[in-house]
Structure 1
Amino acid sequence: MNKKKIICPECRTYTGYIIRKEKRKYIIRDQEYYFDITVAYCEKCGEEIEVPGLLDLQMKEVDEQYRKKENIVFIDEIEKLMTLYDIGKAPLSLGLGFGEITITRYLKGQVPSKEYSDIIKNALESPKYMLNKLIENKNKIAANAFEKAEKCALNLEKMFNISSKMLSTISYIFEESLEITPLALQKILYFIQGIYLALYDVPLFDEDCYAWVHGPVYNSVYNLFKEFKYNPIDDDRFMILKNRFEELTEQERNVIQLVLNSFGNYSGKVLEEITHQEDPWINSRNGYSFLEPSDNLIEKNQIQLYFKKIDKEYSLRNIKEINRHINEQLELKNK
């Protein structure tokens, strides 16, 4: 909000004003709340005054803080749900079991009840829940709207065949990376798992890794993103992963960030070439020619032993040391 001079209604002076944040009491649905609200005071007489745009800002602050405190869905989350399932306001409303214009009212700013908010949040978090809601209310929705939303739900449901930790890890990678290809994602996941195993003796996620021609691959992740081929992953469906990374511990995030700040600076092809020089992939591909397809398991203990060896030589807690290891691997490749 731009600070301009105004006429103070108290002292009738053309003067400036001071902006502050203060706790104010509000009664909403018979409950008492205290919110941090922006207020303005006259520089001349010190009385609280109204300035242009302030009331709208205060209403927005109350709305946001109330929704956050009561875990009520936000407008942008409802818009996200519509995008995820390629569905309009009226069919979404009916599909969730609401009245036809309920979602329209929510998009205009009406705050949902906790019951209805929880339904929307559940639909946003679980494609299976959304699919069940759509089927339950199928007779209320136009056929083509139902079919489009059902197709989206079925596609999204495939994503949840992956473990929660893997989804959270991918969510963090998406949050921190401007763009990433499926090939680069596979290798980043492999290095994250390797370093985490070396430092903490447990896997970050449960999925097994396999030795394919182009390096270590997590099959379920490959199936999820294979349609992008060598292009960056970009699809509204994956908005459902946004903020899942908040479930990760600080320890887990630190390891992911270490990998992104080091290995993450290279293309998928370069990362593939690095893995081709490492024992876990080489040993699991034993007996195969260079371009011969294979789907052999790379045992987690093989990955752990290899990265523990690297940790002893380079210290995998230190980003400079990780980069030194990468540079030496790249120099070895070019010899």
Structure 2
Amino acid sequence: MKRNDKVIIKKYCPICDCEHEIIINEKEGIATIKGEEIKYMKKVYFCPNADEAECEFSDSKIMDSNLLAAKDAYRVKTGLLTSYDIKDIRSKYGLTQSEFALLLDCGEITITRYETKQIQDKCHDEQMRLFRDNPRYAFECLKSHKELFDYKKYSELNDCFLNIVETEGKEASSRELLRTIYSKYDSPSLDNGNKTLDIDILEAIISYFASKIKYLYKVRLMKLLWYTDMIFYNNYGVSMTGLVYTHKQYGALPIGHHEIIGLYNVYTEEEYDQSSENFLTRIYDNKNLNYKFTDEELKVLELVKDKFIQYSGAEIAEYMHKEKAYIHTNFGDIISYEWAKDLNN
């Protein structure tokens, strides 16, 4: 239960020697793991009825949780998968702990240990990363261990793995096409806002605007992306997406705009517009994305959304035409991020 952003549970309190509401607090902890001093966030129980000097206590459950948090912090520091990363890999492929261990040719309880208390070695870490990042490798592992599963279970896993291979293959190819177009902008510069192309956040931004703006079409989206990148660059010295924009008829247009709309995780639909007698590309929210915006990113996105939510594509294009970045560049020019300081309002 949460109350005023505090997690509250009812449990036995050894300080009061009775059961009552206890607050779960988080505080910075320090642990030494394999010779490394590790800082991490640990949990403690807080008794609101006790004196301040003796108000905190723990039990075996929370101590185990804190030990795992410290080991995960060590894993992050040393570049290893965390216990949560390992669970996510299993969940992705629909595997139990013992099934995952079988496919990796390790002891049946090895994965259980990795998810609860034991830090994996580099060899197993690399193998699990390969399993996560290369569905074809994972599928080959499944085929080579076919005899370890009964017919029904193998059929279920086979269908699941094949679906992932197909889906991620399409996603990878659409991303690779856009990356190829941006290969000449593979170093931070004023062209890309001191940031190389970040497709994860690009897809998330597109989905964000589609979730907030009911009728989002391509022309409007491209201007929203430009303002988002320019404002973020002006505030923090880097763009959000790493996109490179050029001066075109209807305003700033990112290089590779066709490929951006063609990304596997960008949901679109062609709609016929009777007034213009043209087909328009409408963009929809992708609720399957799990990108988490930072507070700084979200602040800029909300600013851009609030400013332009009532603008049509034509209106936002007209607004953009009044920007110095557009007035002082020529058709086809790259619009440098140095113009970010001169944005209207």
Paired residues of 1:210 and 1:298 also in contact (CA < 8 A): yes
Q: Deviations over 1:198-225 (max 9, x none)?
A: 8979996255669699994612210015
Partner of 2:260: 221
Corresponding residue of 1:152: 167
Matched, 1:205 2:242: yes
SS in 2 for 1:228: strand
Match for residue 144 of structure 2?
Answer: 139
Change over 3 Å in CA distance of 1:39–1:173 after alignment to 2: same
Question: In the alignment, what sits opposite 1:328?
Answer: none
More strand by share: 2
- How far apart are the structure 1 equivalents of 2:88 and 2:75? 20
Of 220, 227, 248, the match for 1:191:
227
* Offset, 1:148: 1.7
- Of the three residues 50, 67, 81, the one matched with 1:73 is 81
How far residue 179 of structure 1 moved from its aligned partner, in angstroms, is: 2.4
Contiguous gaps of at least 5 residues in structure 1: 285-296, 323-335
Q: Contact between 1:95 and 1:138, CA under 8 Å: does it hold in 2? A: no
Query: 1:232 corresponds to which residue?
Result: 284
CA distance in 1, matches of 2:174, 2:320: 30
Query: Per residue, is there more helix in 1 or in 2?
Result: 1
Residue 173 of structure 1 deviates from its aligned partner by 2.9
Q: Could you say which residue in structure 1 is the equivalent of 2:332?
A: 299
Give 1:71-150 correspondences, 5 Å limit: 71=76, 72-82=80-90, 85=92, 87-89=94-96, 93=100, 97-99=104-106, 105=112, 109-115=116-122, 116-121=124-129, 124=132, 127=133, 129-135=134-140, 138-140=143-145, 142=154, 143-150=158-165
Q: For residues 17 and 45 of structure 1, do their structure 2 counterparts lie closer, same or farther at Cα, with a shift above 3 Å needed?
A: farther
- State the distance in 2 between where 1:49 and 1:194 align: 48
Once the two structures are TM-superposed, the CA of residue 150 in structure 1 deviates from its matched residue by 1.2
Distance in 1, matches of 2:52 and 2:244, equals: 66
Q: Which amino acid aligns with 2:223?
A: K
Once the two structures are TM-superposed, the CA of residue 112 in structure 1 deviates from its matched residue by 4.8
- Segments of 5+ residues of structure 2 without an aligned counterpart are 1-7, 147-153, 180-195, 270-281
Q: How many residues align?
A: 279
For residues 40 and 30 of structure 1, what CA distance do their matches in structure 2 show?
31
Tell me the amino acid that sits aligned with residue 234 of structure 1.
N
2:317 to 264, 275, 289: 275
Aligned amino acid, residue 268 of structure 2:
F
Distance in 1 (alpha carbons) for counterparts of 2:46 and 2:207:
36
Could you say what secondary structure the match of 2:284 adopts?
coil
Matching residue of 2:61: 56
Change (3 A) 1:196 1:105: closer
| Secondary structure of 1:165 counterpart | coil
Instruction: Give me the whole-angstrom Cα distance separating, in 1, the residues matched to 2:13 and 2:243.
Output: 62
Task: Tell me whether 1:261 sits opposite 2:308 in the alignment.
Answer: no
Asked if the contact 1:18/1:40 (under 8 Å) is kept, the reply is yes
Q: Judge conservation of contact 2:139–2:162 (CA < 8 Å) in 1.
A: no
**Percent identical across equivalent pairs?**
8
C-alpha spacing 1:208/1:122, structure 2 compared with 1 (3 Å): farther
Give the Cα–Cα distance (whole angstroms) in 1 for the partners of residues 52 and 320 of structure 2.
Answer: 73
Aligned to 1:173: 205
Q: For the Cα contact (< 8 Å) 2:226–2:252, is it kept in 1?
A: no
Q: Deviations over 1:66-85 (max 9, x none)?
A: 202222434543454456x5
CA distance in 1, matches of 2:29, 2:319: 62
Q: How big is each residue's C-alpha offset from its partner over 1:286-335, in whole Å with a ceiling of 9 and x where there is no partner?
A: xxxxxxxxxxx97343x449x94x96xxx43xxxx53xxxxxxxxxxxxx
* Secondary structure of residue in 1 paired with 2:104: coil
Measured on the aligned residues, the alpha-carbon RMSD in Å equals 5.6
